[in-house]
Amino acid sequence: MKRKLIFFILILVTLSPLHLWAEYDVYSAAFALKKLLEFYGKNISIVEIETELKQSQNIFDSVVRVGRKHGLYLNRFVLENYQQITRFTEPIITQYKGIFYIAKLSPTGIQLISNRRKIVVRQEEFLKDWSGIFISLPLPGVLVIRYKPVEKKGRIVFLYSYHNEEFYLFKEIFDKLYKQANKAGYNLIYVDELGLIPEKSIHTINNNSERDGFESAKYSLLRELKFIEKGIGITDPTQFYDKIYHYLAKFKVRVEMENLKYENWKAITAFDELELNQLAVKLFCHGDINGYVEKIKEYNQGFWEYNVVIRDKYFRDQIEKLAEANPNSLIFTLRGLGHYGMEENVKVCGFTTETIILGEGRFQELLVPDQYIQILRRNQVEIDPSQEKIGYLRAFPVECLRNYLHKKLNFTISEATVKANQVVENLNEQDIQRLALDISHGIAEGRLRNSDAVYEFVYWWLKKKKLVLDW
């Protein structure tokens, strides 16, 4: 009996510390997540968070999942270059010396807050003992790793930006990737995003077979892109891409093109013919904001299904096959900002999956509110219905104000979008109803005859409310 008791005590002594450490890990992670949720205005019980975290064995993945359930678009990243931690503009969750903390930059180093203590660690000391793994919202301007294989034989890098962004942002990251590819002995491959080919041009090429006309148009575009490999720059109506193509030609970069499927293209063009976006705008400009919300919601759901979700699935498959066929390569692509998140599950044996957003500011502020809502939906983030509605309502004034700031006051598109969001987030539903009615009166009186006139009206309307500063 004495031997059995001693054996039982030994088992308890051996197992209890492990059990306690596991429990403590979960609790410290729950505390960090609660603090991060509070930072973004969400108050969730720590008991509820802790219970939900215990449903998964991988605590990092569990924090991401629970965060998304409560409306935060959290992601698990690995920092590509530790020195880029100085670019972090928002708090993160990370593990340091076995404990989960909420971490943020401070004037003297890295501030770490856990359920047990609040400390500041010098940056050099922190980086020395840090794994580089962290959880946060997407961080513009920071190159991060989504997937890191055990043995590395190549890289896949997704760049995201507006189609009329500033060229220097692309040049900065390309120059870095080019040097790194040379140092590693990787071949550099650029995959170009294919814009929507107009239906009329397809019928001009081949009026007998729309499918053949579509394939001929794609082949013609790819053939033109291939001039870059010979050092010949090609022109593009968008200044941003025009500069990119000429810059890539200097390095004779290998170029491939998105292989858009005919069936997908056909669905996109058929959906566009419904003109739901134009109808939504018309409803807003006639004072019917509830009708506007319903139509813009319908438009976004259809647009994202055909032009983002389905299209990205094919593009992801293409990138993966290209990587498998080209080991020892650095494959990079520039995708529209609305496609962000498509790279999350790209996992090719031996290839890292990396991503960077070209732009400055908070991720949410870089997007028009209805775009942000769809990105959340696409990435399984649960949205509060009231927040969803006000997001859709704010989309139109944000679109108007950013267009005015970009076209008339010469802000970059990302700067204009950030500033427009910061202004319009002060409007409630009643304010937006008043704005819609005032636009409606302006149209009826013949003062607002085109889009530019509406953009200017919104700018001065907001300025009279003292929401727009003298930038």
Residue 40 belongs to domain with CATH number: 3.90.70.10
Closest residue by Cα to residue 425 from 33, 138, 161, 41? 41
Domain identity same for 48 and 160: no
| 470 lies in some domain | no
* Domain match, 35 and 160 both: no
pLDDT of residue 420: 97
Q: Is the pLDDT of residue 1 over 60?
A: no
State which residues form the domain around 125: 21-137
State pLDDT tens for residues 328-364. 999 999 999 999 999 999 999 999 999 999 988 899 9
Tell me if 287 is assigned to some domain. yes
pLDDT at 106: 95
Residue 364 located in a structural domain: yes
DSSP letter string, 322-381? HHHHSSSEEEEEEEEGGGTTTTTT---TTEEEEEEE-S-S-TGGGS-HHHHHHHHHHTT-
Average pLDDT of span 401-424: 96
Residue 223 lies in a domain: no
Cα separations (Å) of 351 from 146, 149, 189, 262, 339? Answer: 11, 6, 14, 29, 21
Residues 291 and 402 reside in one and the same domain: yes
Confidence category of residue 466, pLDDT binned at 50, 70, 90:
confident
- Work out the burial of residue 127: count CB atoms within 10 Å of its CB; fewer than 13 is exposed, 13-18 middle, 19 or more buried: middle
Q: How many whole angstroms separate alpha carbon 131 and alpha carbon 153?
A: 21
* CA 424, 427, 429, 434 torsion-angle sign: negative
Torsion of CA 125, 129, 135, 141, to 10 degrees: 50
The C-alpha atoms of residue 142 and residue 359 are separated, in whole angstroms, by 10
Q: 292 and 424 share a domain?
A: yes
**75 - beta bridge partners?**
136
pLDDT score at 22: 58
Is 251 within the bounds of a domain? no
Q: Are residues 131 and 269 in the same domain?
A: no
Mean pLDDT of 397-417: 96
Q: Are 77 and 191 in the same domain?
A: no
The strand order across the sheet containing 130-136 reads: 118-121, 109-113, 99-106, 92-96, 130-136, 75-79, 144-147, 351-357, 154-161, 329-336, 187-192, 254-257
Q: Residue 460: which of 425, 409, 412 has the closest Cα? A: 409
Distance of CA 83 to the CA centre of its chain: 22
Residue 392 in domain: yes
Is the same domain home to 83 and 188? no
Beta bridge partners of 147: 353
Overall pTM surpassing 0.95 (yes/no): no
DSSP assignment of 227-290: GGGGT-----SSHHHHHHHHHHHHTT-EEEE----HHHHHHHHHHHTT-HHHHHHHHHHTT-HH
Co-location of 291 and 350 in the same domain? yes
18-32, 312-326, 433-447: which has the minimum mean pLDDT? 18-32
Question: In what helix (H) or strand (E) does residue 470 lie, and over which residues does it extend?
Answer: none
Give 120-151 pLDDT, tens digit per residue: 999 999 999 999 999 999 999 999 999 999 99
Instruction: Quote the pLDDT of residue 109.
Output: 96
Q: What pLDDT score was predicted for residue 23?
A: 62
Residue 244 lies in a domain: no
What is the total residue count of the chain? 471
Please give the Cα distance from 426 to 405 (Å, whole number): 18
**Residue 188 and residue 118 share a domain:** no
CA 178 to chain centre: 23
H-state helical runs in 84-189: 123-129, 167-184
d(CA 175, CA 263): 37
Helix axes 289-304, 369-378, angle to 10 degrees: 50
Distance of CA 213 to the CA centre of its chain: 34
- 283 shares its domain with 333: yes
For residues 449 and 335, state if they share a domain: yes
* pLDDT given for residue 308 in this prediction: 94
Strand partners, 282: none
Residue 267, domain member (yes or no): yes
Q: How many domains does the chain have?
A: 2
Q: Which amino acid is at 179?
A: K
Choice among 189-203, 258-272, 419-433 with the minimum mean pLDDT: 189-203
Does residue 114 sit in helix, strand or coil? coil
Q: What does pLDDT average to over the chain?
A: 92
Residue 48 CB contacts under 8 Å (≥ 6 apart), including other chains: none
Same structural domain for residues 384 and 350? yes
Distance CA 194, CA 305 (A): 17
